[in-house]
A and B are shown apart, each in its own frame.
Chain A
Amino acid sequence: MMRLKLPILVLLLTLAIPATAEDPFIIVASTTSTENSGLFAHILPLFEKKTHIQVRVIAAGTGQAIRLATSGDADVLLVHHLASEKAFVKEGHGVKRHDLMYNNFVIVGPKSNPASITMGNSAATAFTHIANTKMPFVSRGDDSGTHKKELGIWQVAGIDPRNASGSWYREAGAGMGAVLNTAAVMNAYTLSDRGTWLAFANRGDLMILNAGSSKLLNPYGVILVNQNRHPHVKAELGQKFIDWLIGPDGQKAIASFTINGEQAFFPADKKSP
């Protein structure tokens, strides 16, 4: 037993020694849509190859990502809820918000479409149809950018779905992918960002039923966390990343990202939301 213990101990000690000579890195707090769609896997290697700055992405809901950045646990914030982003900068947590890219939200539901939503409906009308027919709707319920967007649409429709929480309105409290999995099983309606939907592999009977409404625009912004608030923030490296993202190389990389042949995100410089 003693003879065996020594090599095991040596093995454990080697495992415990951290890797040395790492590239410098930044931490980016972002949303699940950018990670799950595969966008980061497409664009980050291009940036890392050019600058040798490693980008470490924490993918969470927009609400959680903002809390992460507020407590100084990230160098750059990349999310999709304009009002929260503006508040983040205004409160002094962020330096400046830059338009990065946009796509749109889509309302997905079962092919049989019992609530009879059409492409021509406004988002609020579509939601009203769902509420009137009491068809199951799965909400993110997690304070994410998509959740805030969904609540905004209910407000425009003049409906408080929380009264129906537990019956037809089902708050999953989970990420976009988990909510799509849930909706696929329940044959329910839900609101998704286009990127996550395009990359989602377990669609079951779900399909896009409404997408065109201008209310469903989904702009993404990128913000450097304020070094005055958190001295350890890697402002120089973070700014380099932001400059690359909003510059021609980054915008080209975003535009060239496709899922099954479909463009998932559109550069912000073409059309500012």
Chain B
Amino acid sequence: MNDFSSALLAALALVLQLDSDLAEIVFLSLKVSLVAVSGAALIGMPLGAALALFRFPGRASIVVFINALMGLPPVVVGLAVYLALSRAGPLGVFGLLFTPTAMIIAQLILVTPIIAALTRQVIDDLWREYEEQFCSLGAGPGQRIMALLWDGRFSLMTAILAGFGRASAEVGAVMIVGGNIDHVTRVMTTAIALEVSKGDLALALGLGIILITLSLVVNGASFLISETARRNHG
């Protein structure tokens, strides 16, 4: 109990002092995860929609495969990206290892299957509802995808938030490809891991409380945005 109260105090102290190191870490966490999730949405949503709309050989296997990829272990993705970006690896010439870009790539790989799989489910349901209309209107494949994604946009918000939750909460991948370098690649989760290894459990938990609060703020904001939009559009 003592640990929890000192953790709360540590979190409050950090926030009230407007600690510049903390602000930097929070900003980098948001930057990495938001960029990764945006990229994953750009790839995952059309991919998921296409899987829902089109029938082709091997479709079922791909659907199962993408569903399974939702459970990708972050540490394995981190290791794979690490080996690819290492100077000794195939993409080594770009010198991307231990940069925020490397962290974004790893999170993009983690999050894309989640958004693709959840999108497929949402669009699949919508498609059953509208299939006849689309066929009678003679809409092309691109038009169908765009129209259904737009129609399902409020449900798809949940897919994106699930992706953001995964990205902002994982530590295994960003630790390996980012290296937890102070002022360069240190994010909330790696900072927490570092404080744990220093034995400063109260500060670690304090940082954890701030991370959970951030997640609440992001989710709350997206809820308000979609509620407002829903009301305006009827």
List residues of A (30-63) whose CB comes within 8 Å of B's CBs.
32, 35-36, 41, 56-59
Question: How many Å lie between the Cα of A35 and that of B190 in the bound state?
Answer: 14
Q: Does B125 contact A (CB under 8 A)?
A: no
Q: Does B95 contact A (CB under 8 A)?
A: yes
Question: How many Å lie between the Cα of A174 and that of B38 in the bound state?
Answer: 34
Q: Does B201 contact A (CB under 8 A)?
A: yes
List residues of B (39-89) whose CB comes within 8 Å of A's CBs.
86-89
- Docked-complex contact B197 and A72, CB < 8 angstroms: no
Question: How many Å lie between the Cα of A114 and that of B35 in the bound state?
Answer: 54
- Docked-complex contact A203 and B197, CB < 8 angstroms: no
List residues of A (192-227) whose CB comes within 8 Å of B's CBs.
199-203
- Docked-complex contact A15 and B34, CB < 8 angstroms: yes
- Docked-complex contact A202 and B200, CB < 8 angstroms: yes
- Docked-complex contact A232 and B196, CB < 8 angstroms: no
Question: How many Å lie between the Cα of A72 and that of B93 in the bound state?
Answer: 11
List residues of A (1-23) whose CB comes within 8 Å of B's CBs.
1, 4, 12, 15-16, 18
- Docked-complex contact B181 and A202, CB < 8 angstroms: no
Q: Does B233 contact A (CB under 8 A)?
A: yes
List residues of A (161-202) whose CB comes within 8 Å of B's CBs.
175-178, 180-181, 184, 199-202
A-B contact count (CB 8 A): 75
- Docked-complex contact A56 and B184, CB < 8 angstroms: yes
**Given A18-B101, A73-B86, A200-B199: A1 in contact with B35 (beta carbons within 8 A):** no
**Given A1-B229, A56-B98: A202 in contact with B87 (beta carbons within 8 A):** no
Residues on B with beta carbons closer than 8 Å to the beta carbon of A56? 98, 179, 181, 184
Question: How many Å lie between the Cα of A35 and that of B199 in the bound state?
Answer: 13
**Given A4-B229, A73-B98: A177 in contact with B196 (beta carbons within 8 A):** yes
**Given A56-B181, A59-B180: A12 in contact with B35 (beta carbons within 8 A):** yes
Question: How many Å lie between the Cα of A56 and that of B179 in the bound state?
Answer: 9
- Docked-complex contact B182 and A57, CB < 8 angstroms: yes
- Docked-complex contact A201 and B200, CB < 8 angstroms: yes
Q: Does A230 contact B (CB under 8 A)?
A: yes
Question: How many Å lie between the Cα of A251 and that of B185 in the bound state?
Answer: 28
Residues on B with beta carbons closer than 8 Å to the beta carbon of A133? none
- Docked-complex contact A72 and B153, CB < 8 angstroms: no
- Docked-complex contact A181 and B233, CB < 8 angstroms: no
- Docked-complex contact B31 and A15, CB < 8 angstroms: yes
**Given A57-B181, A59-B180, A72-B87: A177 in contact with B198 (beta carbons within 8 A):** yes
How many Å from the CB of B58 to the closest CB on chain A? Answer: 34
Using CB atoms and an 8 Å cutoff, list the residues of chain A in contact with chain B: 1, 4, 12, 15-16, 18, 27, 32, 35-36, 41, 56-59, 71-73, 175-178, 180-181, 184, 199-203, 230, 232
Contacts A18-B101, A201-B201 supplied; 14 other A-B pairs, CB < 8 Å: A4-B225, A15-B30, A15-B31, A27-B98, A35-B194, A36-B194, A57-B182, A59-B180, A71-B89, A72-B92, A177-B197, A180-B199, A199-B199, A202-B200
A-B contact pairs, 21 of them (CB 8 A): A4-B229, A12-B34, A12-B35, A15-B30, A18-B101, A27-B98, A35-B194, A36-B198, A56-B184, A71-B88, A71-B89, A72-B88, A175-B197, A177-B199, A181-B201, A184-B199, A199-B199, A200-B199, A201-B199, A202-B200, A230-B87
